[in-house]
Amino acid sequence: MKKVRTLVCLAVLSTLQIAPAAAAAPEALRDAVRKAVVTNPEVQARWHGFQAADADQETARAGYYPQVDVSASIGRERLTRPNTGTDDYTHRNATLSLNQMVYDGFFTKSEVARMGYAKLARYYELVDASEGAALEVVRAYGDVLRYRELVRLAKANYVEHKQISDQIGERAGAGVGRRVDLEQATGRLALAESNLLTEVSNLHDVSARYLRLVGEMPPEALGDFGDKLAAGPLPANASEALREAFNTSPALNAAVENVRAGQALVDSRRSAYHPRVDLQAYKAIDHNLDGVSGRSTDSVVQLVLNYNLFRGGADQARLRQAAEQLNQSRDLREKACRDLRQTLSIAYNDSQRLVEQLRYLDQHQLSIEKAREAYRRQFDIGQRTLLDLLDTENEYFQARRAYTNARYDQVIAQARTLNGLGKLMSALDVARDDLPPASEVGQDRAGIDPATICPPDAPLPLQVDKAALLADTLREAGGAKR
């Protein structure tokens, strides 16, 4: 007996020692997420959008550089002059021209800034799509594990009901059991078969979702989540999580950059009210110009000012359009903030609530398991009815099913919280090798001030004082008796 206790103690100590290592995400999950963020079509579409935005900024920056053109022509011309007759000749021309913008009302500067902010917005949208794909893979991975376990529980539940049904059938056939008991057992067996079929169908559906996200079927060997995805703790409360998310959430950062791009568009539209100054230079070489035989050259260097006086109201309309688009981007930023505040508050509350709920569900399934074994022994000696036995079997199955669902829901709630913080991929230690940091893309602001967007307020979870609740109930019951 002493030797058994020693072995148990050593097993517990070894479990405690390996617990931190077991908290890391399984390698199969990291591989699945890595494949999704590299090959998922939605993420790849965002990647190409980011690349296109980078090319757009280079296009806008070209406005700072001179434009150089070469043109050449050759053709037959006929020139008719009064009192001199008509001449037919071949005219050849070659022209080299240069145009350098000197002042354009800060149009080029505003466009370069606008395209830079748009590139940052596309960058954060790419990060958000990658985070979203990672979350969906975590959900699918967890659901495959969940329904594989639920199928196993449903199989065991079916076997138990089948054995009880056969036992009752033998009793009824021998004349020592009632026919109604057999009907009741047959009905419960049919329910167990239906439960098994449901779980098998659910496993098929989540496997198809995994295939869509990752591009391959889930392997037979999937590492378990453990109890958490990352070794680091979550923020202390929902308000702290929101304050952190306002600076790290890619969705909110994308909305902020869209607002900055909208302001730069307004500045760009205002340039139409300024004059434009260009430095122009060209040299033309002609043969037989205007019918004069021989070679002619024309060289020009000049400053050209152009100031539009009337364009039919187009400039004013474009400026008004840009102002409305800026207001639209501000409204979408407000929406992104409110959406983040809701989803992160719910995810954080779920991740905390399910920890406590798991303790109660575990206690429930352990208690039902003990009651089930006791009822089975009492049924064998005639102290319990068939209905008692079947009820405990069904309750045991539902208790184990509820515990399994809550266990996976709790880890997925952690993933949803990390996704709201924009840190799910870093928690899984997964990254795109071709994705640069935001500072290299052009991020030049320190962060987001929540006071300028929306306050990081989260509803406080309701705390139930169970002792006070019970005391109030007993007090009300006592008053009613009097």
Lowest mean pLDDT segment, chosen from 53-62, 118-127, 292-301, 317-326: 292-301
Q: Is the pLDDT of residue 107 over 90?
A: yes
Burial of residue 38 (CB within 10 Å: 0-12, 13-18, 19+) is: middle
* pLDDT band (50, 70, 90) for residue 202: very high
3-state secondary structure of 301: strand
pLDDT tens digit sequence for 35-60: 999 988 999 999 999 999 999 999 99
Cα separation values, 262 from 2, 58, 290, 333, 479, Å: 76, 19, 52, 12, 67
Distant-in-sequence, close-in-space partners of 349: CB < 8 Å, separation ≥ 6:
238, 461
pLDDT above 60 for 5: no
Do the Cβ atoms of 154 and 202 come closer than 8 Å?
no
> Is residue 370 domain-resident?
yes
**Length of the chain measured in residues:** 482
Burial of residue 127, with CB atoms counted within 10 A of its CB: 0-12 exposed, 13-18 middle, 19 or more buried: buried
Cα dist from 158 to 7, 145, 346, whole Å:
36, 20, 36
Local structure of 233: helix, strand or coil: coil
Going by the DSSP 8-state scheme, the letter that residue 429 receives in this structure is: T
Q: How confident is the model at residue 175 (pLDDT cuts 50, 70, 90)?
A: low
The residue ranking higher by pLDDT, 467 or 109, is 109
What lies within 8 Å, CB to CB, of 308 at 6+ separation is 272, 315
Distance CA 221, CA 228 (A): 19
**Does residue 1 belong to any structural domain of this protein?**
no
- Whose CA is closest to 187, among 220, 204, 164, 206? 164
Contact 108, 101 (CB under 8 A): yes
Instruction: Kindly tell me if the per-residue pLDDT of 233 is higher than 80.
Output: no
Residue 126 half-sphere exposure, CB side, CA atoms within 13 Å? 26
**69 phi/psi in degrees, rounded to 5:** -130, 145
C-alpha span between 409 and 187 (Å, rounded): 31
pLDDT computed for residue 365 by the predictor: 93
Span 365-388, mean pLDDT?
A: 86
Assess if residue 38 is contained within a domain.
Answer: yes
The pLDDT, as a whole number, for residue 482 is 59
Distance CA 375, CA 213 (A): 46
DSSP readout, 442-464?
A: T-------GGGT-----PPPPPP
Residue 130: give the domain boundaries: 29-64+114-273+342-466
Q: Give the strand order in the sheet containing 276-287.
A: 67-81, 85-103, 276-287, 295-306
pLDDT surpassing 60 at residue 20: no
Question: Does residue 255 sit within a domain?
Answer: yes
Q: Report how far residue 189's alpha carbon sits from residue 197's, in angstroms, rounded to the nearest whole number.
A: 12
Structure tokens at 321: 């359009």
CA 440/CA 354 separation, integer angstroms: 40
Q: Once rounded to an integer, what is the mean pLDDT over residues 55-78?
A: 94
Q: How confident is the model at residue 449 (pLDDT cuts 50, 70, 90)?
A: confident
* Count: domains in the chain: 1
**Structural domain includes residue 332:** no
CA dist 196 → 152, 205, 208 (Å)? 9, 14, 19
- 479 band by pLDDT with thresholds 50, 70 and 90: low
- 8 Å CB contact between 91 and 289: yes
Mean pLDDT, rounded, for 233-238: 84
| Residue 306, in any domain of the structure | no
Residue pair 115/258 in contact (Cβ under 8 Å)? The answer is no
pLDDT of residue 6: 38
CATH number at residue 189: 1.20.1600.10
DSSP H or E run through 70: strand 67-81
pLDDT band, very low/low/confident/very high, at 230 (cuts 50, 70, 90): low
Q: Indicate whether 91 belongs to any domain.
A: no
- In this predicted structure, what is the pLDDT of residue 388? 82
**Residue 355 lies inside a defined structural domain of this protein:** yes
